[in-house]
Homo-oligomer: A and B are copies of this chain.
């Protein structure tokens, strides 16, 4: 496994063919990453694992990252009121990713409304698929709109685009909830004569209240939120501490329940710092409020860096340039 925190800390917890991707990478073959974002939302702390993993490969191995920002899917699935706002948000997200650290020379954003070739490639791939497979995979019925059914093909087109452009191995880091899409996509790949894309699954970080972090539920920590909101959200985070400070000093806290502790140890601290923090929290030496203060510091640092970088980011055409599918094989 790569010597990177997302792997070492099991934030990436399972995979399909990741070993083959790594083998291709070390054999010097042409590799790419596809990592999509739904432009119905904003960057939040939960994105950090996938982004950092992408950046690890981009920085260490110069692997280009394709980022589908599916404005049309957001719309057709009813996540945004209209296409225009989905599209605007897609451009915003592109800027934010560059501010996060994605290398403009090694990053391609695929905004469907900019890129007719994606639809044509999707039409091509649709011939390798039937409606019944789409229905079985996603629980769609005959009452589903045909756009949503076709979207399966668009998504496959996003994932398989690098193969179409001549890449030899593709990695798609996803959350476990997207696995059904990718399984179908791997089947389509095989039928269309492409290699199967490799997949890694990210384990969910708990959200602020101790459950799954999700942008749509509004309980995530958004990286571009104002500092007051970030501070307030962390202050209210689910705690693993004892009911009072006195009891906490005496009996200690539960590092596996304390959200601030989990974020700090999984996302921000070194292994050594993390072990010390857990020990000190468990012993009662550190209060939950101490951990929240620490976490606030790290998150604000990340947020400030992002906000500052954002001022200097400019989108250029080459980041979105349409791919010439007609002259590639």
Contact = CB atoms under 8 A, between A and B. Distances in A.
Contacts of A119: 72, 112, 116, 119
Interface in A208-227: none
Interface in A83-103: 83-84, 87
Nearest to A121: B83
A128 B144 CA distance: 10
Interface in A135-155: 135, 140-150, 152-153
Interface residues of A, number: 43
Contacts of A143: 130-132
A184 to B, nearest CB: 11
- How many identical subunits does the complex contain? 2
A203 interface: no
A197 to B, nearest CB: 19
A247 interface: no
Nearest to A124: B83
A294 interface: no
Contacts of A126: 76, 145-148, 150
Interface centre among A115, A124, A152 (most CB of B within 10 A): A124
A127 interface: yes
A289 interface: no
A129 interface: yes
Given A75-B123, A83-B326, A124-B75, A129 B150 contact: no
Given A116-B116, A326-B87, A122 B144 contact: no
Contacts of A117: 113
A207 B134 CA distance: 42
Interface of A: 72, 75-76, 78, 83-84, 87, 112-117, 119-120, 122-132, 134-135, 140-150, 152-153, 325-326
The 9 A-B pairs at the shortest CB distance, nearest first, are namely A126-B147, A150-B150, A132-B142, A116-B116, A119-B119, A123-B147, A126-B145, A76-B123, A146-B149
